[in-house]
Amino acid sequence: MSDAPKLLVSHLQAGYGDVQVLWDISLDVKAGELVCLIGSNGAGKTTFLRCVSGIVKATSGTIAIDGRDMTNAQPADLVRAGVAHVPEGRRLFSAMSVRDNLLMGAYLRDDKEAVAADLERVYTMFPILADRRRQDAGTLSGGEQQMCAIGRGLMAAPSLLLIDELSLGLAPRAVELLIERLRDINRSGVAILLVEQDVMNALELADRGYVINRGQVSMSGASSALLADPAIREAYMGL
């Protein structure tokens, strides 16, 4: 196996039209690692994930997956390279069944038997999705929709899962369950880059974290160090 990190971003700059949002961001996620990205509203976290999954183009800097340059590659090529994105707001097809939403995650795969096995794995991980497989995704609760969105990401058989706002708007019990499942997914060898508003939860879950402030990395380090940092406790945890 290559020693290159799963994801290596160097000096990334990006934005929308004339508005630059990301300034010189460098970040890495090693194989099997769980890393979180924290920062206030509008800091650029979503834009960063959208760059990594090829939706927003970099104006300079590089993005490499497993040591291979993927800067400004097409989203489908990033999916083929093992990157799956669970977007903010879940973005399910609400008038389609839970099963069909899950299968959308496998749209680039032609290994039918492995896809069927992965679908069963998602149902085992989230039994409620198995119970609701024929129901329209739009009728699921918020927590169930997030399970479905994560399940759809897993159906791409990723080695790196990007998750934007895991817990936003969800009940604490649903968040607890999702966190447990993310630990399982990560233990199974999938690296995770997590954007999360709840900084305490994010740092307790992750190995390392990066703080993004106005489109720049303002701090990074082991989660334990960030959790203990007085500036972070004051700015993001209200402590």
> Which residues of this protein are in contact with ligand ATP, per CB under 6 A?
16, 19, 21, 39, 41-47, 88
Distance of closest approach, residue 46 Cβ to ligand ATP, in angstroms: 3
Q: Which CB atom, from 21 or from 98, has the smaller least distance to ligand ATP?
A: 21
**Cα torsion at 177, 178, 182, 188 (round to 10°)?**
60
Residue (of 62, 61, 24) closest to 44 by Cα position = 24
> Do 160 and 154 form a contact (C-beta atoms < 8 A)?
no
CA distances from 2 to 6, 15, 65, 118, 229 (A): 9, 31, 11, 26, 34
Q: In this complex, which beta carbon is closest to ligand ATP, that of residue 103 or of residue 205?
A: 205
Q: How far is the CB of 21 from ligand ATP (least distance, A)?
A: 4
Q: How far is the CB of 213 from ligand ATP (least distance, A)?
A: 10
Angle, CA of 222, 83 and 91, to the nearest 5°: 100
User: Considering beta carbons, is residue 88 or 100 the nearer one to ligand ATP?
Assistant: 88
Determine the longest span between alpha carbons in the chain, in angstroms. Answer: 51
Chain-centre distance for alpha carbon 141: 20
For ligand ATP, which is the closer residue by CB, 6 or 45? 45
Q: Which is nearer to ligand ATP, 45 or 152 (CB)?
A: 45
Least distance from C-beta 49 to ligand ATP, angstroms? 8
Pick the closer one to ligand ATP by CB: 67 or 89. Answer: 89
Between 51 and 161, whose beta carbon lies closer to ligand ATP?
A: 51
